[in-house]
Amino acid sequence: MCAKSDNTISIVLKVLEKNIDVNEVEEFILQVNKIIEEKNYSWIKVFAAEILNEIYGGLNELSARYYYMFTPDIVKILEGLIIAWFEDRTGFFKENINPILLAETLERLMISIKGLENDETYVMLGDVYRKIVEGLDRRRYSSIWRDLWKRAENYYLRAISLNRGNHKALEGLGDLYFVREDFQKALNYYTQATILNKENARLWAKIGYSFEKIGDIDKALEAYEESFRIEHRVDVAKRLYEIYLAKGLKEKARELEKYLEGEK
């Protein structure tokens, strides 16, 4: 792995150390394409485009092809900026980024460029709008909230129409209905998702939360136990501990208490 990485860097340094002329373009493109095929580095695509712009004195068909190859990476960058907005603790991203406009930019990009329209991209867009919905005051912005919620739902449904086995889309729909407090529908989608992805502790935990919300504590307990069997999660352990205490299952509660003490 190191040898291949060193080879990539050496090629880049050679390009930077001397001026490539038109006669050397073919060899340069062969080297770049080999790196992309082996490593799929995002930066090498932009690097190649900029070098080709310099050789030909501006944007040209060859450089434009590398920019085109970079478009899936642009999608990831925009998604990353939106996530950064939600996780922002310093205020920098909230001051400089509008997540709704970025999401709309993603939509346009996906529609405009062939190859970006697929079930995974639709899930990503669904996730973006869902996160906005989760962070938006539903009462204060009721009309906007409903519109964004519907957009998220539509993208998840489009993903499923392209790939019925996309459990992420089903989970996303479950999350959407959970935030809308339609816990039965949320439960239905989470259950469908677990059929496709049975060993997912997070999904089983969400099933547990949903059963609790509709008042079925016994089924919630079963779901939490399945989640904890797959992965020891602190949030699930806390819910199990409380249910065990409420049901008088003191021995099981003590076992979880020891686990939670060890996690502090």
Average pLDDT, the chain: 87
Asked if the structure places residue 238 within a domain, the reply is yes
Reported as a single tens digit per residue, the pLDDT across 229-243 is: 999 999 999 999 999
* The total number of structural domains that make up the chain: 1
Q: Residue 77 falls within a domain, yes or no? A: no
- Whether 97 is in a domain gets the answer no
Instruction: Determine if the pTM surpasses 0.85.
Output: no
Q: What confidence score (pLDDT) does residue 21 get?
A: 63
Judge whether 110 lies within some domain: no
Model confidence at 4: pLDDT above 50: no
Q: Is residue 112 part of a domain?
A: no
- Structural domain span for residue 222: 205-264
Assess if residue 5 is contained within a domain.
Answer: no
Residue with the bigger pLDDT between 255 and 15: it is 255
Q: Per-residue DSSP letters for the chain?
A: -HHHHHHHHHHHHHHHHS---GGGHHHHHHHHHHHHHHH--HHHHHHHHHHHHHHHTS--HHHHHHHHHHHHHHHHHHHHHHHHHHH-SSSHHHHH--HHHHHHHHHHHHHHSTT--SHHHHHHHHHHHHHHHHHS-TTTTHHHHHHHHHHHHHHHHHHHHH-TT-HHHHHHHHHHHHHTT-HHHHHHHHHHHHHH-TT-HHHHHHHHHHHHHTT-HHHHHHHHHHHHHH---HHHHHHHHHHHHHTT-HHHHHHHHHHHHHT-
* Residue 187 scores a pLDDT above 50: yes
- What's 238's domain CATH number? 1.25.40
pLDDT in tens, 239-258: 999 999 999 998 999 988 88
Q: Is residue 242 part of a domain?
A: yes
Residue 232 belongs to a domain: yes
